[in-house]
């Protein structure tokens, strides 16, 4: 990610997820593996 605000948001979600908060990502795509939410999920997991 190039933009600092995006990196900070992902880091915050990673911290919140690590503390036990459930993070829900929604969109209209049918399959998660072919969707931007899958990429975001991976970024959040990496930030934990």
Which pTM value belongs to this model? 0.76
Between 2 and 4, whose confidence is greater? 4
Residue 30 has pLDDT above 80, yes or no: no
Please enumerate in sequence order all residues whose Cβ is within 8 A of that of 13, keeping only pairs 6 or more positions apart, or say none. 23, 44, 47
pLDDT at 22: 95
Percent of the chain whose pLDDT exceeds 70: 94
Place of tokens 């998660």: 32
Place of tokens 């990429």: 39
Average pLDDT, the chain: 88
Total domain count for the chain? 1
Q: Which domain holds residue 33?
A: 4-47
């Amino acid at each position: 990610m190039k933009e600092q605000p995006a990196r900070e948001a992902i880091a915050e979600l990673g911290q919140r997820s690590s503390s036990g908060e459930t993070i829900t990502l929604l969109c209209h795509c049918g399959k998660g593996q072919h969707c931007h939410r899958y990429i975001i999920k991976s970024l959040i997991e990496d930030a934990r």
